[in-house]
């Protein structure tokens, strides 16, 4: 299928860039096209972004050929830092902020990160449309999820960097946008290559918001038997009890904790493969695996059908995964979202750490401001952030319990091996990297660090010149059932600074596509993540572009969409190491009673402490901040930091506390 070439970055001709993430809708401002050095700003690059081949090259060379680094010439940095932070994602930036805040004296801090932009998985994507409008989307970490569950440490840090959560509900999130424009339907796309019964004609089924399941199921290519099973699953007025032999909520919960959702559907609802295929991807976004590897207890927390006739009691269950518990406990609307996702949090932190790198002092200016990349690493500054710097080694200068300094080796953007020395080190990088950084770690801790197999992700942002097809279909997004992408949806309707959602279908918009890259074959979650990562790294941008164009044309072509003219730009954010792995039944029998690998993995030693979301086995920005708080408290034992929650998942409710 021949596709026109997309200009990756030609701002002189108004070409746009496209961002990637979870579920997004675009915001844009009346800003003229930008020329000059900003054209190559990391946030404005299109094509394949995130953990690119260049970003991982030095780390993989060090992993595969450590002897080459041992023999290389090392260039010493002249300064001795008070703190070196490895990893400039939200946890590393938060750790630097807290260390400076609580050190009790002026300190020098150097942050190192292998990527070309700050924020780690919290990545900003910017675009300029042909119309001259600027659009901002998120390419990774999406939103601040369930802030009423945040620890005192997280709440305090957000306040300290100027983030007022109440403004999202009252000012920033246009909660009426979809209703105002009649975009209330979410479609399901069935393609002929996946569903032979369609006889060559793809079909988009768009249920009305209150349409009975039996009515919209009748428009699908599912067999009558599968339709009948699904109609019974979705029935809420006359729900069936699928576990009549179990007579108490605790017995029913125990049974659900011991089976996957697929097993629950097969064994207790008589579901066939067509039913399972329709629902299989529903759990990937929250749990990192499909329904074939997610417990029925977590599927219940996620709102999947089949539980309406079961009395399961109230409140979370300790056997649910951390995300499952959070789903049960949260009472917050899902609106705490910057236009660039949690890159807004990262930008707030770096603006406070390095004055002058980002203009303004308000939340609005976080959305609008252009980050001065050259200002991040000036030698006269007490805090510096060095990008394209891959840490490859760490050792104390003497026995760890007696040493006064730590040497950190890294490969810089020019490929030179360098060494910086520091009085203390905060490791806010992935656990599997830490396992290979230092020979000082005991074997048990290395094994625990290696246990954290992160979930591979793709977040794509597509800049559309208009959203007329969505308006005609009354659609805000759709799910390709059994297709390449898990989800496609218009971006969040955010009003912040000069950014605002479009009010006319002829205006440009961002469309977000997401994929959790796992085979979905029922094997353990870690095995699926490892295989998915290998597959992900073999895909070219051209392959991903083809999948995007084919999916959108198939879903929207009947409503006048033309991929050749309506797509202006595409950015695919590749996260081969994405979500932190969360413990879950049935794969982790030690969950929740322990001992937990993350507790062993995150132990500091000598002058080194470990932060990041991996250390909490909890894939959220607030976990990254909590773990940074714990790590800084270890480095500064006399300081009095706010209370952090460091166990996987939200804090367990007290008796009489919140219930679902």
Which tens digits make up the pLDDT trace of 152-175? 999 999 999 999 999 999 999 999
- The answer on pLDDT for 70 being more than 90 is no
Which pLDDT score is estimated for 17?
27
Average pLDDT of every residue of the chain? 91
- The answer on pLDDT for 109 being more than 60 is yes
Q: Domain spans of the chain?
A: 224-329
User: What does the longest C-alpha to C-alpha distance in the chain come to?
Assistant: 74
Per residue in 1-53, pLDDT (tens digit) is: 333 343 322 222 222 222 222 323 333 443 333 344 455 789 999 999 998 77
- The answer on pLDDT for 660 being more than 70 is no
Q: Work out the average pLDDT over 519-547.
A: 96
Which pLDDT score is estimated for 4?
38
How many Å apart are CA 209 and CA 117, to the nearest integer? Answer: 40
Which pLDDT score is estimated for 38?
54
The tokens for 651 are 């804090």
pLDDT range class, residue 428, cuts 50, 70, 90: very high
Per residue in 244-272, pLDDT (tens digit) is: 999 999 999 999 999 999 999 999 999 99
SS3 of 256-309: the string is HHCCEHHHHHHHHHCCCHHHHHHHHHHHHHHHCCCCCCCEHHHHHHCCCCCCCC
Which of 4-8, 50-54, 530-534, 551-555 comes out lowest in average pLDDT?
A: 4-8
Q: Work out the average pLDDT over 436-454.
A: 97
Q: Work out the average pLDDT over 57-78.
A: 77
Residue bearing tokens 């009095």: 640
Q: Cα torsion for 128, 130, 25, 480, to the nearest 10°? A: -120
Which pLDDT score is estimated for 652?
86
Which pLDDT score is estimated for 58?
73
CA 338 to chain centre: 14
Per residue in 278-299, pLDDT (tens digit) is: 999 999 999 999 999 999 999 9
Radius of gyration of the chain (CA): 25
pLDDT range class, residue 655, cuts 50, 70, 90: low
Q: Work out the average pLDDT over 224-245.
A: 93
On the question of a cis peptide bond just before residue 267, with omega within 30 degrees of 0, the verdict is no
* Burial class of residue 655, CB neighbours in 10 A (0-12, 13-18, 19+): exposed
pLDDT range class, residue 640, cuts 50, 70, 90: very high
To the nearest whole percent, how much of the chain has pLDDT over 90?
87
Which pLDDT score is estimated for 653?
80
Q: What string of DSSP letters covers 598-614?
A: HHHHT--BTTEEE-SGG
Which pLDDT score is estimated for 200?
82
pTM: 0.92
How many Å apart are CA 173 and CA 166, to the nearest integer? Answer: 11
pLDDT range class, residue 568, cuts 50, 70, 90: very high
Q: Work out the average pLDDT over 172-195.
A: 96
Q: Which residues contact 166 (CB under 8 A, 6 or more apart)?
A: none
Which pLDDT score is estimated for 654?
65
Per residue in 461-496, pLDDT (tens digit) is: 999 999 999 999 999 999 999 999 999 999 999 999
Per residue in 372-425, pLDDT (tens digit) is: 999 999 999 999 999 999 999 999 999 999 999 999 999 999 999 999 999 999
- The answer on pLDDT for 342 being more than 90 is yes
Which of 193-202, 325-334, 357-366, 613-622 comes out lowest in average pLDDT?
A: 193-202
Q: Which helix (DSSP H) or strand (DSSP E) does residue 488 occupy?
A: strand 487-490
pLDDT range class, residue 659, cuts 50, 70, 90: very low
Which pLDDT score is estimated for 574?
96
Which pLDDT score is estimated for 317?
96
- The answer on pLDDT for 146 being more than 90 is yes
Residue 89: HSE in the Cβ half-sphere, 13 Å Cα cutoff: 29
């Amino acid at each position: 299928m021949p596709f026109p070439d997309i200009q990756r970055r030609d701002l002189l001709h108004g070409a746009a860039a496209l961002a990637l993430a979870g579920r997004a809708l675009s915001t844009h401002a009346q800003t003229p096209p930008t020329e000059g050095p900003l054209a190559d700003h990391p946030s404005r690059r299109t094509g394949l972004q995130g953990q690119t081949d260049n970003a991982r090259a030095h780390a993989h060379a060090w992993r595969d050929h450590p002897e080459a680094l041992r023999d290389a010439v090392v260039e010493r940095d002249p300064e001795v830092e008070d703190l070196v932070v490895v990893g400039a994602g939200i946890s590393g930036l938060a750790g630097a902020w807290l260390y400076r805040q609580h050190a009790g004296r002026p300190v020098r801090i150097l942050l190192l990160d292998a990527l070309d932009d700050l924020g780690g998985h919290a990545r900003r994507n910017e675009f300029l449309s042909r119309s001259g409008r600027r659009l901002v989307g998120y390419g990774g970490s999406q939103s601040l999820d369930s802030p009423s569950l945040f620890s005192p440490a997280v709440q305090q840090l957000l306040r300290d960097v100027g983030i007022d959560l109440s403004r999202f509900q009252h000012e920033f999130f246009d909660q009426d946008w979809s209703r105002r424009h009649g975009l209330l339907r979410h479609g399901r796309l069935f393609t002929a290559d996946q569903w032979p019964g369609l006889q060559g004609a793809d079909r988009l089924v768009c249920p009305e918001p209150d349409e009975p399941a039996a009515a919209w199921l009748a428009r699908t290519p599912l067999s009558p038997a599968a339709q009948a099973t699904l109609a019974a699953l979705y029935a809420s007025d006359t729900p069936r009890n699928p576990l009549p032999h179990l007579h108490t909520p605790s017995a029913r919960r125990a049974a659900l904790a011991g089976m996957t959702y697929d097993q629950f559907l097969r064994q207790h609802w008589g579901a066939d493969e067509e039913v399972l295929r329709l629902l299989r991807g529903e759990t990937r976004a929250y749990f990192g695996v499909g329904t074939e590897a997610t417990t029925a207890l977590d599927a219940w927390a996620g709102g999947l059908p089949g539980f309406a006739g079961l009395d399961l009691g109230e409140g979370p269950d300790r056997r649910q995964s951390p995300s499952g518990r959070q789903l049960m406990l949260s009472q917050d609307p899902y609106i705490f979202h910057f236009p660039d996702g949690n890159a807004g949090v990262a930008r707030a932190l770096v603006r406070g750490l390095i004055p002058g790198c980002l203009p303004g002092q308000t939340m609005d200016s976080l959305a609008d401001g252009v980050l001065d990349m050259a200002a991040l690493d000036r030698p006269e500054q007490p805090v510096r952030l060095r990008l394209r710097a891959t840490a490859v080694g760490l050792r104390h200068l003497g026995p760890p319990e007696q040493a006064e300094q730590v040497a950190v080796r890294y490969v810089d953007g020019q490929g030179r091996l360098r060494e910086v020395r520091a009085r203390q080190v905060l490791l806010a990088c992935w656990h599997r990297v830490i396992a290979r950084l230092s020979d000082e770690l005991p074997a048990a801790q290395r094994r625990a660090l290696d246990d954290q197999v992160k979930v591979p992700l793709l977040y794509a942002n597509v800049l559309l010149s208009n959203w007329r097809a969505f308006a005609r279909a009354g659609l805000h997004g759709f799910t390709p059932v059994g297709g390449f992408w898990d989800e496609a949806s218009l971006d969040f309707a955010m009003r912040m600074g000069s950014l605002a959602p479009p009010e006319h279908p002829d205006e440009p918009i961002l469309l977000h596509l997401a994929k959790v890259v796992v085979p979905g074959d029922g094997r353990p979650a870690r095995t699926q993540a490892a295989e998915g990562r290998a597959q992900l790294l073999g895909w070219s941008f051209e392959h991903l572009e083809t999948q995007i164009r084919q999916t959108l044309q198939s879903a929207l072509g009947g409503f006048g969409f033309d991929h050749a003219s309506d797509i202006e730009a595409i950015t695919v954010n590749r996260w081969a190491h994405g979500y932190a792995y969360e413990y879950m039944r049935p794969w982790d029998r030690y969950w929740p009673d322990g001992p937990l690998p993350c507790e062993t993995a995150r132990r500091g030693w000598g002058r080194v402490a470990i932060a990041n979301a991996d250390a909490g086995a909890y894939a959220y920005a607030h976990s990254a901040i909590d773990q940074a708080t714990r790590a800084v408290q270890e480095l500064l034992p006399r300081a009095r930091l706010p209370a952090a929650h460091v166990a996987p998942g939200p804090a367990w409710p007290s008796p009489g506390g919140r219930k679902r």
